[in-house]
Amino acid sequence: MIKLKQLGRHILIEYYDCDRKVLENSSLIEKYMLSAAKLAKATIVESVFHTFNPWGISGVVVIEESHLTIHTWPEYKYAAVDLFTCGNTIKPWTAFEFLEEKLSAKRTDITEIPRGVMDCIFKNQETFENS
């Protein structure tokens, strides 16, 4: 039996110097986010995208393994993306690379956060049970 160290991974991505035309195109952003989820081998449940006036998009792709979100600021050629995946069958880095290419990002900043770290979960359960 494989012992899990964490339940999920949360990758926070800053995409800079992106193609402004892409960042303001809601149907294209949704298409790219759904494709990113599929390429990552995620199981898509639902997607919701909203376009702001005069520009900018927020969207989420709910997957059985958690979610992928995007927020765009075309006026700054910037997008913020969260890839939160659970289990070890999903490939969030594949989604990252795909989106980097499709948004034409010239640079990125990335932070990966382990979610549901098992040592912390069990420590908290023991504390709760002993109180």
DSSP three-state, residue 93:
helix
pLDDT band at 1 (very low <50, low <70, confident <90, very high): very low
Domains identified in the chain and CATH numbers:
7-129 (3.60.90.10)
**Residue 49, beta-bridge partner list:** 59
**Cis peptide before 92, with omega less than 30 degrees from 0?**
no
Query: Which candidate in 10, 71, 104, 131 is catalytic?
Result: 71
Query: Which candidate in 10, 18, 26, 86 is catalytic?
Result: 86
86 has catalytic annotation: yes
Q: Find, among 84, 86, 90, 74, the residue nearest to 15 by Cα.
A: 74
50 has catalytic annotation: no
Query: Which candidate in 10, 18, 26, 66 is catalytic?
Result: 66
pLDDT in tens, 95-131: 999 999 999 999 999 999 989 888 888 876 655 555 5
pLDDT band at 21 (very low <50, low <70, confident <90, very high): very high
Q: Considering the chain, what percentage of its residues have pLDDT values greater than 70?
A: 91
- For the entire predicted model, the pTM comes to 0.88
58 has catalytic annotation: no
